[in-house]
Amino acid sequence: MQTSQSQSEAAIRRALLDSNARPYTRQRIEDSFEAIDATLAIAEPFQKGAAIDIGCGAGYDTFALVRHFKQVCGVDADQKAVREAQRIARLAQVSNIEFVMASIDHWVPADRYDFALCNLMSHNVASRVKLIESIVQMMKREGAAVYSDECEGYAPMEIHRAILSKDKRALVARLHQLLFGFVGGTGFRFFIAGSARPIFERLGCEVSLERRSLWNGIATTDFLVVRNPQALTSQSSILSAQDSDYAPLAGDFSELRARFVDVIEKRPNSGLTAGAREDLKRQARESSNRFAPFLLHLAMADLVLSQIWPVNSRGRFLTRVGNRLEASAARLPGPLERICLCALRVAGIGSPEKEFSWDAVSELDREFIEIARRRAGLENGIED
Determine how many CB atoms are found less than 10 A away from the CB of residue 138.
25
CA gap 359, 372 in Å, rounded: 20
If one compares 326 and 72, the residue with the highest pLDDT of the two is 72
Long-range contacts, stretch 281-287, CB < 8 angstroms, 24+ apart: 281/364, 281/367, 283/259, 284/367, 284/368, 284/371, 285/367, 285/371
Q: State the pLDDT at residue 367.
A: 97
Q: What is the pLDDT of residues 176-217, one digit of tens each?
A: 999 999 998 777 899 999 999 999 999 999 999 999 999 999
DSSP string, 246-278: -SS--HHHHHHHHHHHHHHHH--TT---HHHHH
Residue 267 pLDDT exceeds 80 = yes
Average pLDDT over residues 228-253: 74
Q: State the pLDDT at residue 3.
A: 46
Residue 344 pLDDT exceeds 60 = no
Ranked by mean pLDDT, the top range of 204-208, 246-250, 322-326 is 204-208
Weakest-pLDDT range from 59-73, 84-98, 235-249:
235-249
Residue 231 pLDDT exceeds 70 = no
Report residue 333's pLDDT band, with 50, 70 and 90 as the boundaries: low
Per the CB < 8 A criterion, the answer to whether 176 and 322 are in contact is no
Among 199, 182, 32, smallest CA distance to 119 is for 32
Interhelix angle 358-375/274-286, rounded to 10 degrees, is 20
Average pLDDT over residues 299-311: 80
Average pLDDT over residues 278-296: 97
CA gap 40, 22 in Å, rounded: 26
Domain ranges of the chain: 2-151+189-228, 251-375
Query: H/E element holding 289?
Result: none
Phi, psi (degrees; rounded to nearest 5) at 332: -85, 160
Mean per-residue pLDDT over the chain, rounded: 86
DSSP letter at 305?
B
CA gap 261, 185 in Å, rounded: 11
Q: State the pLDDT at residue 339.
A: 57
377: left (phi over 0), alpha (psi -120 to 50) or beta: left
Q: What is the pLDDT of residues 50-86, one digit of tens each?
A: 999 999 999 999 999 998 999 999 999 999 999 999 9
Q: H helices then E strands: how many in the chain?
A: 14, 7
Among 369, 370, 371, smallest CA distance to 157 is for 369
CA gap 228, 201 in Å, rounded: 10
Weakest-pLDDT range from 34-38, 284-288, 347-351:
347-351
Q: State the pLDDT at residue 369.
A: 97
Cα angle 298, 304, 308; round to 5: 60
Residue 31 pLDDT exceeds 50 = yes
Report residue 311's pLDDT band, with 50, 70 and 90 as the boundaries: very low
Average pLDDT over residues 167-176: 93
Report residue 49's pLDDT band, with 50, 70 and 90 as the boundaries: very high
DSSP letter at 112?
-
Phi, psi (degrees; rounded to nearest 5) at 130: -65, -40
Average pLDDT over residues 101-128: 91
Report residue 352's pLDDT band, with 50, 70 and 90 as the boundaries: low
- Taking the domain 2-151+189-228, which CATH number applies? 3.40.50.150
Average pLDDT over residues 264-273: 89
Residue 248: is the preceding peptide bond cis (ω within 30°)?
Answer: yes
Query: H/E element holding 85?
Result: helix 79-92
SS3 assignment, position 343: helix
Parallel, antiparallel or unpaired: strands 206-215 and 113-119:
unpaired
